[in-house]
Amino acid sequence: MKTYATRWYGEATSFGAASTVTVESGVEDTEVNARLVAGATAKGRVTSGLTGNPIEEVVFGIEEPEPGVYEYLGFSVGNSAGEYTIPGIGEHKAYIDFTSYGCPVGEPGCPHFYALQLFDGASTLATATPLLLRAGEAVTEINAVMQEGGHIAGRITTASVEDEPIADAYVCATVAAASQGIFAAPGGCAYSNGNGEYTIDGLSTQSYDVQFTGEVCPGEQQAQCHDTYQRQYYSGETTELQANALSVIAQTTVGGIDARLLEVSPRTPVSTSAPVLSGIPAVGDVLGCSQGVWEHGPTGLSYVWLLNGTPISGQTSASYAVQPSAQGGLISCEVTASNAAGSASAGSGTLRVPVALPPTPGVGELVSTSAVTHRRTTVVVRCVGATACTGTAELVATVPRKHHGRGRHGRAVEVVIGHAGFAVAPGTTETFAIDLAAKGAKLVRAAGRAGLRVLVRGPGLTTSTARLTDRR
């Protein structure tokens, strides 16, 4: 165990103040001597601010032999009681760093959940209180109560049309402020799960760059990694200088930090399931074309619709509105998948577009008639069919035919006693007035309360019967 303070040749206490030694080939210098003095010792205990339990935290000692010059003294791993000891501290400013530096998330026993902290609760050297120790001195109670760090979470998928999750992908957050060097908050790393999801824990309140390394490290220990995907920084950048820094606050989570990664060595897409058509193949309806299922991560898809095997001009989306020109023909679609390695196409089955029947012509139906007032009645007509109903409504009465001079009646004859044109929109009803001829009005009066039975008929109108009564 180190018990002496660090010295550099020439009785220097820092690397910058050390004297150089000139070495010549074949010449042995036997006077590169040093006189060491006992170093100070810092001891303390590390506990959890969440549970109060001891933490087997990694504790670093850092010296500042000259203003702005920092050197590591060494480190200590706390025991099961959370106790640590760092010996060999020189008579300089010294800082105690409680951190999980260099211990990626996922390693067994890694205390990654807590944020970096220096003695007295500071998160950076600039705000920390240094220890000023004398040679051989032992200082105790250099304790720390660790607090939950911040978190960065997201999902890693392939940069393909199917966004397949990438498991065991390695992702790291590093402090964005490069000027703080290795003594900045260390950040953290994580591996994605089977759904491509990851969470980096134990982050101090800082700005971080997030790097998706492209490495995939399968297995429980993640011991062997493979450069399967291209490295990427959040969000979608290729270098750290272009990265978008994330502001993280301890005990909070920044979510949705996702990445879509390209393969380092892509292969030409291969169709494993053909596209499928959906919808009703009728003029005016919209058909859909699925993308199908592809291997080897296609990054782009294009569509072509075909009529009887020939591409339809301008129809290059995943949907197609069936045109009248397609009646009687076979419709299909073709999907082309592509990536950096090449492209491949796959076609769907076919659907036949039936020839549309002409629309059913509209026919008027009698709904009701009104009593005759001043030789006028009204007729309500409903239009049934796909087109407008137009025509002429006639009121036809049946009267006996007289044989002149004999005083006897012959066969009955039909007499038109009134008529009027009509026009009704499909699915609606309209009311029309019909003026009776003088003879018709006379027949209605003669019928009395029983009313005159008439036929309502004419071009464009279904024949119906009605009774006309006189209202005076």
Q: How far apart are CA 286 and CA 282, in angstroms?
A: 8
**Which portions of the chain are predicted below pLDDT 70?**
1-2, 57, 100-112, 177-186, 220-223, 402-410, 472
Q: Does some domain include residue 13?
A: no
Q: Which long-range contacts (CB under 8 A, 24 or more apart) does 211-214 make?
A: 211/171, 211/172, 211/173, 211/174, 211/240, 211/243, 212/156, 212/169, 212/171, 212/259, 212/261, 213/169, 213/170, 213/171, 213/172, 214/169, 214/261, 214/264
CATH number at residue 450: 2.60.40
CB 194 within 8 A of CB 155: no
Are 222 and 285 in a shared domain?
Answer: no
The answer to whether residues 162 and 257 belong to one domain is yes
Residue reference for tokens 């076609």? 347
Residue range(s) defining the domain that contains residue 96: 40-146
Mean pLDDT rounded to a whole number for the chain: 84
pLDDT in tens, 68-127: 777 777 778 878 888 888 888 877 788 888 875 434 334 434 446 788 788 888 777 777
Asked if residue 275 and residue 238 are part of one domain, the reply reads no
380-433, pLDDT tens digit by residue? 999 988 888 888 899 999 888 765 555 555 678 888 999 999 899 998 999 999
Same domain, 94 and 82: yes
- Give the end of a domain, one of 319, 352, 385: 352
Clarify whether residues 160 and 188 are in a common domain: yes
- Which residue reads 């032999």 in tokens? 65
pLDDT at 410: 60
Answer yes or no: is 440 within a domain. yes
Position 462 in a domain: yes
C-alpha span between 320 and 325 (Å, rounded): 13
The pLDDT assigned to 257 comes to: 96
Residue 157 is assigned to a structural domain of this protein: yes
Residue 4 located in a structural domain: no
3-class SS at 211? Answer: strand
Q: Which two tokens stand for residue 203?
A: 């982050």
> Does residue 223 sit in the same domain as residue 187?
yes
How many domains does the chain contain in total?
Answer: 4
For residue 23, being part of any structural domain is answered with no
